[in-house]
C-alpha cells in the first residue's frame, strides 16, 4: 500500500540556560556540577517569607538573544506565576512569563537542507524568561527505592525560545537548532552544553495527510527529554512514521485526540507516551505580585543592539578573507563563541600569522582548555603572549617544539614569555658555537657527507636530531644550512 | 511601665531599671496573662534575657544604643525569626524554624529591642477573630468572652494585656486596625512598600504590610522609625526617604487640615450605634482642633469586600502551594502511598478550615475559564478603587471613618459564618486595595465598656500626616490611656 502525500509540521521549544554567574532571582551561583543542595538560599528554595529580586544581567542577555533572532523587545514585560505541584519545584509555582514575554515575533533564516542554494525562514513566536526547577534523583542509593532532590538548579535563568510550526523535516529542525546554538554561543548568551542541560529541546510534531484533496491532521505529540541534536532528529523521524502508522490503524486525528506528551527513549530509539493531555493542565497563571513589571526603554534596546557586533556568518567570512584560513578552520573557531574569536583575532593580528594562529588555537589552546576545564576568558596564556610566541617561531628564534614547551609552561605557571624561555633554559645558540657542533657531527658521520656530495641533500636530516640531542636549543634550520655549506666548502 | 516604650527608655536612661529587670517584668506579665489571654504562641525567656543583658552591658560600657534599647516587643508569628519557631499559627508549620530573620526582625535587633516572643494569630493571617489559630484562641483583655479581632489578635492583646508596650502586626485587609480597635490600642498599617516584606510569610503579597501596634500614636511613631525604609531584597519596597515619624507627633494644631468624612459609611446598615456615635464624636474633636471637615465619597466602596475576597484568596492559593510536605513543615505519615497522596494528606492535615476555604476560592478564581470572570475582573475593579482614592485625596488631606461595624464580638459568634466574618473588613480593605496608609485609634467605649476604634486614612507615604492627626486627637482625648480591668 502506498503512502498518501504527507506534510510534517514541527515546532520547537528550546530552553537555553543564560550564562549568568548568579541565579535569576537571588545571588546563588549557577555553577554546574556542585554537590547537591550546596548552591541554595531561602529565595531559590522558596522558603516562607523569602522574596525574589531580578538579576539585571539575565534581562540583558535575554534582550541580546532576542535581537539576534530578530525579535521585537516590547517596552513592558512582566512576571507571572505558573502553578503546579512537583517535588523539585519548591514554591509550588514557577516564576515565568505568560502574556507579555520579553521577546516576541522573531525569525531565523536557515539554509534549506534540501537545496543548499535556498533558505527557509522559520518564525519565532516568542522567547520568555523563566526560572529553572531542581532535579529529582530516584533510587540512586544502591538498592534503596528512595528519591532525593537536588535544588542547586532551582532559579537558574532560562530563555524559552518557541518557534512557529514552520519546520517541515527533521533535517530542517537540525539546521534550526544548529543555527540557534551557534548564535547563542557566539553572543555569549549561553554555553549551550546539552550534557549539562544548558540547552534543552521539546518538539511538537504532527502530520497533515492529504487524502483525496482532504487534509487530515494527526494528533500533536510533544516529545520531551531529548538531550542531543542526534536524538531530536531520530525522535522526529520515528514520530513521523509512528504517527502515520497510528493514523492508518486507528484513524485518530487532532480533532478527536488533541495533544499528547511523549518521551524519547534513547536506548530503544522510540518515543513513548508520558501522560495523556485529555484534560490539559491548568497552570492558573497570574501576575507575580512579588515582582514589578519591567520597563525596557527603547534606548536600552538600541544600545544592546549596537553592542551585538557581527553575526557568526559575518565572522566566518571575515576570518577567511582577512587571514586566509580555510572555511573549516574559521568554522571551528567561530563555533567556540565570540570570546574565542576575539582571542584568535588578537593573536593573528599581533603576530601577523593567521594560519599559524588558527592551527595553534585549534590544537594547543583548545586541548589545554579541555584539560584544564576553564574558558578562554580566564586562560593562562594571553593572546599577546601567544602572538609573541608565534612571532618567535616565524622568525626562527624558537622551534615549534620549543615554542610548545614555552606554551605549556605559560599555561601551567603563568608569567611572561621571556620568563618562561629563561625558566626552561632556552638560549639562542650563536653561530660559531653551532658551526663547531656541526663540524664535530660531520667528522663523526662521513657517510652523510658522502651522500650529500652524491646529490642526496636530505641525508643532512639525520644530523639535526643528533645536533638537538647535544644541544636542545639548536635550530634545525640553522643546522641544515651550516651542514650543507660546510660540505660544499670541503 | 510595660505600657510605654518611652517610659521604658526613660527608666533605663535614669538608671531606675535595667533592661534585664524590664525584660523579666515583661516575661512575668506574659506568664501571668498567658492562661487567660493566650496572646503568644512562643515565649523565649532565655533569649529575651540574654538580649536584655547585652543591652545592659552596652550601656555599662558606654557604647551607642539603638532607638529601642531594652524595650520588650512581641512579634506576630508570621514574621521569620531565626532563633524562634515561625508557625503562622498553623499545624503546617508547627515547630518550623526559618534559617533567617525577617528584615523587620533584624531591624528590631539592630535597634536593641528585646523580642520576648511570637504572638498568636489567625492561621496564615486568615481571619478576623484569632479563632482559626492551631494554638488555641486568643481572648480580648477587655472582656475575655470576646475576640481580640484578627488576624493580629495576639499582637493587639499582648499590648492590651500589658505584657509589652509595643508589638508588630501585619495587615492584609485590616488585620492590624481591626484588632487594634477591638483591643483599644493604636495600630498603623503603613503604605504598601514602606516596610520591607522580606521574611513576612506571604498571605496575599500585593496587600500584606507590616505595622506597629501600641497604646498611642507617639509610640507607633517610635516603632515606625525603626522598621520603615527601602530594602533591595523586597522588589516592591519603595525607594523613598523615611522621615522622622516621631516629629509628626509634636504638634496638635490641625488648622488648615482638610479631613474627609465618609458620611454614608457611618450611616450604613448593620453598624452599631456606638460606632456611629464614636465617629460623630471624633468629627467634633477634629473640628475643635481646627480641622476642616468635608464630605467625601468613594463610589466603588461597595465592591471593596468582594474585590478583596477574590484577590486575596487568589494570591493565597498560590503563596500556600509551597506547603506540600516535601521540603519542610508537616508531612503526612506512612499511610501516604504515593506522591500525590502525600501532597493531599499533608495539606489536608496541616491546614485548617478557613485556610482551605480560601485556597479553594482562590484556585477557582484563577482557574482557566473563570479567571476573566473573577480574578481579572477584580484587578480592574481594584484600579477603579485606587482611582476613587486618588480623586478623594485631591480634595482632602485625610479621611475619617469607622474601623469596624461593631465592637469586639463574642467568641464563637461568627466562626461558623464566613460571610459575617468577612464583613468585619468592610471599612478596612479599601486602604489595602489602594495601598494607602491607615491608622486605627481608640475613639471611645460602647455602653458595656468595650473599646471602639476610629480610622484615619492618608495618601500614599503620608504616615506622618496620620500620626500627626492621631496624636493631636490623643492629646485632646483620653481613650488611649484607659486600661482593661485585670
> Measured between beta carbons, which residues in chain B are less than 8 angstroms from residue A98?
none
Q: Distance of alpha carbon B105 from its chain centroid, rounded?
A: 15
Query: CB of B198 within 8 Å of any CB in chain A?
Result: yes
Compare CB distances from A49 to B201, B363, B371 and report the shortest one's residue.
Answer: B201
- Contact, B156 vs B140, CB < 8 A? no
Query: CB of A425 within 8 Å of any CB in chain B?
Result: no
Answer whether A286 sits within 8 Å of B366, measured CB to CB: yes
| Smallest Cα distance from A74 to chain B, Å | 21
pLDDT reading at A421 higher than 90: no
Choices 1.20.1630.10, 3.40.190.10, 3.90.1300.10, 3.40.50.2000: CATH for B258-298+381-481? 3.90.1300.10
Average pLDDT over residues A296-313: 93
What would the pLDDT profile of A354-379 be if each residue is shown by its tens digit?
Answer: 999 999 999 999 999 888 887 888 88
Answer whether A42 sits within 8 Å of B233, measured CB to CB: no
Average pLDDT over residues A131-159: 86
Amino acid A277: pLDDT: 43
Compare CB distances from A92 to B234, B315, B322 and report the shortest one's residue.
Answer: B322
Residue B76: active-site member: yes
- pLDDT, chain A, mean: 90
When comparing pLDDT for B68 and A446, which is higher?
B68
Answer whether A49 sits within 8 Å of B375, measured CB to CB: no
Lowest-pLDDT range of A234-238, A260-264, A271-275, B379-383: A271-275
Strand, coil or helix: what is A84? coil
**Helical residues (DSSP H) of A336-430, grouped into ranges:** 338-351, 354-360, 366-372, 383-394, 400-413, 417-423
Helix axes A327-335, A170-186, angle to 10 degrees: 70
B124, B321, B328, best to mutate vs chain A, most A CBs in 10 Å: B321
Amino acid A225: pLDDT: 78
List the beta bridge partners of residue A72. Answer: A104
Can you tell me the distance from the alpha carbon of B236 to that of B315, in angstroms, rounded to the nearest whole number?
15
> Measured between beta carbons, which residues in chain B are less than 8 angstroms from residue A136?
none
Lowest-pLDDT range of A344-348, A463-467, B252-256: A463-467
Q: Distance of alpha carbon A206 from its chain centroid, rounded?
A: 29
pLDDT reading at A393 higher than 90: no
Query: What's the sign of the alpha-carbon dihedral A358, A363, A366, A372?
Result: negative
User: Where are chain A's structural domains?
Assistant: 6-294, 310-423, 431-489
What would the pLDDT profile of B10-49 be if each residue is shown by its tens digit?
Answer: 999 999 999 999 999 999 999 999 999 999 999 999 999 9
Query: CB of A281 within 8 Å of any CB in chain B?
Result: no
> Measured between beta carbons, which residues in chain A are less than 8 angstroms from residue B201?
48-49
pLDDT reading at A476 higher than 80: no
Confidence of residue A278 (pLDDT cuts 50, 70, 90): very low
Amino acid A400: pLDDT: 83
Can you tell me the distance from the alpha carbon of A125 to that of A488, in angstroms, rounded to the nearest whole number?
77
Can you tell me the distance from the alpha carbon of A348 to that of A343, in angstroms, rounded to the nearest whole number?
9
Instruction: Decide if the complex's ipTM is over 0.85.
Output: yes
pLDDT reading at B105 higher than 70: yes
Could you tell me which CATH class the domain B5-249 is placed in?
Answer: alpha beta
What would the pLDDT profile of A214-242 be if each residue is shown by its tens digit?
Answer: 999 999 999 997 889 999 999 999 999 99
Strand, coil or helix: what is B375? helix
- Apex A27 CA angle, A24 and A33, nearest 5: 80
Answer whether A85 sits within 8 Å of B324, measured CB to CB: yes
Compare CB distances from B343 to A42, A51, A85 and report the shortest one's residue.
Answer: A85
What would the pLDDT profile of A422-431 be if each residue is shown by its tens digit?
Answer: 887 776 667 7
Q: In this structure, are strands B209-214 and B186-189 parallel, antiparallel, or unpaired? A: antiparallel
Share of residues in chain A with pLDDT > 90 (%) = 62
Confidence of residue A280 (pLDDT cuts 50, 70, 90): low
Confidence of residue B308 (pLDDT cuts 50, 70, 90): very high
Can you tell me the distance from the alpha carbon of B83 to that of B77, in angstroms, rounded to the nearest whole number?
12
What would the pLDDT profile of A163-218 be if each residue is shown by its tens digit?
Answer: 999 999 999 999 999 999 999 988 889 988 888 889 999 999 999 999 999 999 99
What would the pLDDT profile of A236-260 be if each residue is shown by its tens digit?
Answer: 999 999 999 999 999 999 999 888 8
Compare CB distances from B339 to A52, A87, A93 and report the shortest one's residue.
Answer: A87
Average pLDDT over residues B342-367: 96
Average pLDDT over residues A399-417: 85
What would the pLDDT profile of B182-226 be if each residue is shown by its tens digit?
Answer: 999 999 999 999 999 999 999 999 999 999 999 999 999 999 999
> Measured between beta carbons, which residues in chain B are less than 8 angstroms from residue A85?
321, 324, 340, 343
Residue B151: active-site member: yes
Contacts of B217 (CB under 8 A, 6+ apart): B186, B188, B249, B439, B441, B466, B467, B470, B471, B473, B474
pLDDT reading at A474 higher than 90: no
What would the pLDDT profile of B129-156 be if each residue is shown by its tens digit?
Answer: 999 999 999 999 999 999 999 999 999 9
pTM of the model: 0.87
- Residue B138 DSSP symbol: -
Amino acid A485: pLDDT: 83
Measured CA to CA in angstroms, residue A217 lies from A203, A209, A249, B483 at distances of 17, 6, 15, 77
Compare CB distances from A49 to B198, B232, B367 and report the shortest one's residue.
Answer: B198
Average pLDDT over residues B393-403: 97
What would the pLDDT profile of A61-109 be if each residue is shown by its tens digit?
Answer: 999 999 999 999 999 999 999 999 999 999 999 999 999 999 999 999 9
Query: CB of A48 within 8 Å of any CB in chain B?
Result: yes
> Measured between beta carbons, which residues in chain A are less than 8 angstroms from residue B368?
282, 284
Amino acid A472: pLDDT: 74
What would the pLDDT profile of B149-177 be if each residue is shown by its tens digit?
Answer: 999 999 999 999 999 999 999 999 999 99
Can you tell me the distance from the alpha carbon of B260 to that of B254, in angstroms, rounded to the nearest whole number?
14
Amino acid A276: pLDDT: 55
List the beta bridge partners of residue A162. Answer: A13, A126
| Smallest Cα distance from A5 to chain B, Å | 38
Contacts of A17 (CB under 8 A, 6+ apart): A30, A132, A156, A157, A158, A190, A191, A197, A198, A199
Query: CB of A292 within 8 Å of any CB in chain B?
Result: yes
Amino acid B266: pLDDT: 58
User: Where are chain B's structural domains?
Assistant: 5-249, 258-298+381-481, 306-366
Query: CB of B145 within 8 Å of any CB in chain A?
Result: no
Lowest-pLDDT range of A44-53, A438-447, B277-286: A438-447
- pLDDT, chain B, mean: 96
The CATH number of A431-489 is: 1.10.10
C-alpha cell belonging to residue B285: 474633636
For chains A and B, what is the number of CB pairs under 8 angstroms? 97
Answer whether B327 sits within 8 Å of A90, measured CB to CB: yes
Amino acid at each position: 500500500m502506498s503512502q498518501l502525500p504527507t506534510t510534517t509540521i514541527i515546532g520547537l521549544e528550546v530552553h537555553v540556560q543564560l550564562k549568568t554567574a548568579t541565579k535569576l532571582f537571588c545571588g546563588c551561583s549557577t555553577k554546574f556540577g556542585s554537590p547537591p543542595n550546596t548552591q541554595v538560599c531561602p529565595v531559590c528554595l522558596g522558603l516562607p517569607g523569602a522574596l525574589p529580586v531580578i538579576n539585571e544581567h539575565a534581562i540583558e542577555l535575554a534582550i541580546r538573544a532576542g535581537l539576534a533572532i530578530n525579535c521585537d523587545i516590547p517596552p513592558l514585560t512582566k512576571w507571572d506565576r505558573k502553578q503546579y505541584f512537583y517535588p523539585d519545584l519548591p514554591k509550588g509555582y514557577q516564576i515565568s512569563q505568560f502574556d507579555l514575554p520579553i521577546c516576541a515575533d522573531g525569525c531565523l533564516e536557515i539554509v534549506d537542507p534540501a537545496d543548499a542554494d535556498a533558505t527557509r525562514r522559520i518564525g519565532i513566536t516568542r522567547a520568555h524568561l523563566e526560572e529553572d526547577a531542581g532535579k529529582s534523583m530516584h533510587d540512586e542509593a544502591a538498592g534503596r527505592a528512595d528519591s532525593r532532590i537536588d535544588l542547586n538548579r532551582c532559579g537558574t535563568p532560562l530563555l524559552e525560545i518557541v518557534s512557529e510550526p514552520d519546520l517541515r523535516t527533521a533535517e530542517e529542525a537540525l539546521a534550526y537548532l544548529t543555527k540557534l546554538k551557534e548564535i547563542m554561543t557566539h553572543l555569549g548568551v549561553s554555553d549551550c552544553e546539552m550534557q549539562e542541560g544548558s540547552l534543552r529541546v521539546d518538539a511538537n510534531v504532527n502530520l497533515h495527510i492529504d487524502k483525496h484533496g482532504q487534509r487530515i491532521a494527526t494528533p500533536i505529540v510533544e516529545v520531551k527529554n531529548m538531550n542531543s541534536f542526534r536524538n531530536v532528529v531520530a525522535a522526529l523521524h520515528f514520530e513521523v512514521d509512528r504517527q502515520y502508522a497510528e493514523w492508518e490503524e486507528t484513524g485518530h486525528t487532532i480533532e478527536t485526540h488533541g495533544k499528547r506528551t511523549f518521551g524519547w527513549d534513547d536506548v530503544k530509539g522510540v518515543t513513548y507516551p508520558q501522560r495523556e493531555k485529555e484534560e490539559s493542565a491548568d497552570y492558573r497563571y497570574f501576575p507575580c505580585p512579588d515582582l514589578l513589571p519591567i520597563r525596557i526603554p527603547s534606548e536600552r534596546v538600541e544600545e544592546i543592539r549596537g553592542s551585538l557586533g557581527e553575526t557568526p556568518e559575518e565572522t566566518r567570512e571575515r576570518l577567511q578573507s582577512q587571514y586566509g584560513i580555510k572555511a573549516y578552520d574559521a568554522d571551528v573557531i567561530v563555533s567556540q563563541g565570540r570570546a574565542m574569536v576575539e582571542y584568535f583575532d588578537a593573536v593573528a593580528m599581533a603576530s601577523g600569522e593567521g594560519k599559524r594562529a588558527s592551527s595553534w588555537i585549534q590544537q594547543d589552546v583548545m586541548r589545554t582548555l579541555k584539560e584544564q576545564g576553564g574558558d578562554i576568558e580566564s586562560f593562562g596564556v594571553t593572546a599577546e603572549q601567544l602572538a609573541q610566541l608565534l612571532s618567535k617561531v616565524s622568525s626562527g628564534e624558537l622551534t615549534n617544539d620549543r615554542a610548545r614547551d614555552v606554551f605549556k609552561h605559560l599555561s601551567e605557571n603563568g608569567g611572561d614569555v621571556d620568563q618562561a624561555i629563561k625558566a626552561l633554559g632556552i638560549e639562542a645558540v650563536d653561530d660559531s658555537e653551532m658551526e663547531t657542533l656541526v663540524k664535530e657531527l660531520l667528522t663523526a658521520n662521513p657517510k652523510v657527507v658522502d651522500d650529500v656530495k652524491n646529490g642526496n641533500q636530505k641525508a643532512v636530516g639525520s644530523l639535526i636530531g643528533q645536533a638537538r640531542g647535544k644541544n636542545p636549543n639548536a635550530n634545525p634550520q640553522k643546522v641544515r644550512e651550516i651542514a650543507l655549506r660546510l660540505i660544499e666548502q670541503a | 511601665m510595660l505600657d510605654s516604650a518611652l517610659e521604658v527608655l526613660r527608666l533605663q536612661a535614669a538608671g531606675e531599671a535595667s533592661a534585664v529587670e524590664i525584660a523579666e517584668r515583661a516575661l512575668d506579665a506574659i506568664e501571668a496573662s498567658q492562661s487567660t489571654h493566650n496572646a503568644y504562641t512562643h515565649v523565649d525567656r532565655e533569649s529575651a534575657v540574654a538580649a536584655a543583658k547585652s543591652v545592659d552591658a552596652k550601656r555599662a560600657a558606654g557604647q551607642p544604643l539603638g532607638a529601642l534599647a531594652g524595650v520588650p516587643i512581641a512579634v506576630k508569628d508570621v514574621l521569620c525569626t531565626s532563633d524562634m519557631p515561625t508557625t503562622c499559627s498553623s499545624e503546617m508549620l508547627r515547630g518550623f524554624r526559618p534559617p533567617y530573620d525577617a528584615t523587620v526582625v533584624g531591624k528590631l535587633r539592630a535597634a536593641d529591642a528585646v523580642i520576648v516572643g511570637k504572638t498568636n494569630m489567625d492561621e496564615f493571617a486568615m481571619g478576623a477573630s484569632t479563632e482559626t489559630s492551631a494554638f488555641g484562641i486568643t481572648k480580648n483583655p477587655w472582656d475575655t468572652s470576646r475576640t481580640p479581632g484578627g488576624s493580629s489578635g495576639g499582637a493587639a492583646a499582648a499590648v492590651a494585656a500589658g505584657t509589652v508596650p509595643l508589638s508588630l502586626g501585619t495587615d492584609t485587609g485590616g488585620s492590624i486596625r481591626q484588632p487594634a480597635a477591638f483591643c483599644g490600642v493604636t495600630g498603623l498599617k503603613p503604605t504598601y512598600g514602606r516596610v520591607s516584606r522580606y521574611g513576612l510569610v506571604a498571605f496575599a503579597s500585593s496587600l500584606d504590610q507590616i505595622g506597629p501596634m501600641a497604646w498611642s500614636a507617639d509610640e507607633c511613631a517610635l516603632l515606625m522609625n525603626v522598621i520603615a525604609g527601602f530594602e533591595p531584597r523586597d522588589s516592591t519596597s519603595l525607594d523613598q526617604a523615611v522621615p522622622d515619624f516621631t516629629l509628626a507627633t509634636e504638634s496638635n494644631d490641625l488648622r488648615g487640615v482638610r479631613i474627609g468624612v465618609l458620611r454614608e459609611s457611618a450611616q450604613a446598615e448593620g453598624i452599631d450605634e456606638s460606632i456611629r456615635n464614636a465617629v460623630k464624636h471624633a468629627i467634633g474633636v477634629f473640628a475643635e482642633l481646627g480641622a476642616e471637615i468635608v464630605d467625601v465619597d468613594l463610589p466603588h466602596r461597595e465592591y471593596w469586600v468582594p474585590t478583596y475576597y477574590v484577590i486575596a484568596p487568589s494570591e493565597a492559593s498560590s503563596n500556600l502551594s509551597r506547603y506540600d510536605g516535601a521540603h519542610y513543615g508537616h508531612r503526612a505519615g506512612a499511610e501516604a502511598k504515593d506522591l500525590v497522596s502525600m501532597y493531599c494528606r499533608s495539606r489536608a492535615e496541616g491546614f485548617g478550615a478557613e485556610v482551605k476555604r480560601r485556597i479553594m476560592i482562590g484556585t477557582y478564581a484563577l482557574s482557566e475559564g473563570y479567571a476573566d470572570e473573577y480574578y481579572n475582573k477584580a484587578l480592574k475593579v481594584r484600579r477603579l478603587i485606587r482611582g476613587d482614592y486618588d480623586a478623594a485625596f485631591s480634595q482632602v488631606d485625610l479621611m475619617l471613618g469607622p474601623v469596624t461595624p461593631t465592637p469586639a464580638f463574642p467568641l464563637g459568634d461568627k466562626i461558623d459564618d464566613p460571610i459575617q466574618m468577612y464583613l468585619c473588613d468592610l471599612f478596612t480593605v479599601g486602604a489595602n486595595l489602594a495601598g494607602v496608609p491607615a491608622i486605627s485609634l481608640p475613639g471611645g467605649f460602647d455602653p458595656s465598656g468595650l473599646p471602639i476604634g476610629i480610622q484615619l486614612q492618608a495618601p500614599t507615604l503620608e504616615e506622618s500626616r496620620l500620626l500627626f492627626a492621631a496624636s493631636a486627637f490623643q492629646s485632646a482625648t483620653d481613650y488611649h490611656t484607659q486600661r482593661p480591668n485585670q
